[in-house]
Copies of this chain bind each other. A is one copy, B any other.
């Protein structure tokens, strides 16, 4: 079966996020004043062929560890859709 897995990769909470700061500045210049904080990360959707939900999650975990997230600067969250 094909599973749809969504992975969110975000900069660690304790680290500065320059891209988020830039977006925050941009929003304020555009007149959107009520935004206090912005953080920008990656959203990755994978289509995985697997026998079970657990196997699909395991593949997503492996992909995150091997390629998608850099644990020094980022954390990731895996979510199974459908």
Contact = CB atoms under 8 A, between A and B. Distances in A.
Interface of A: 2, 8-10, 20, 23, 26-27, 30, 32, 34-50, 59, 62-63, 66-68
B34 A45 contact: no
Contact of A45 (B26, B38, B50): B38
Copies in the complex: 2
A42 B42 contact: yes
A23 to B, nearest CB: 7
Contact of A43 (B10, B46, B62): B10
A46 to B, nearest CB: 5
Quick one: which of A23, A27, A43 has the most chain B CB within 10 A? A43
A41 B23 CA distance: 16
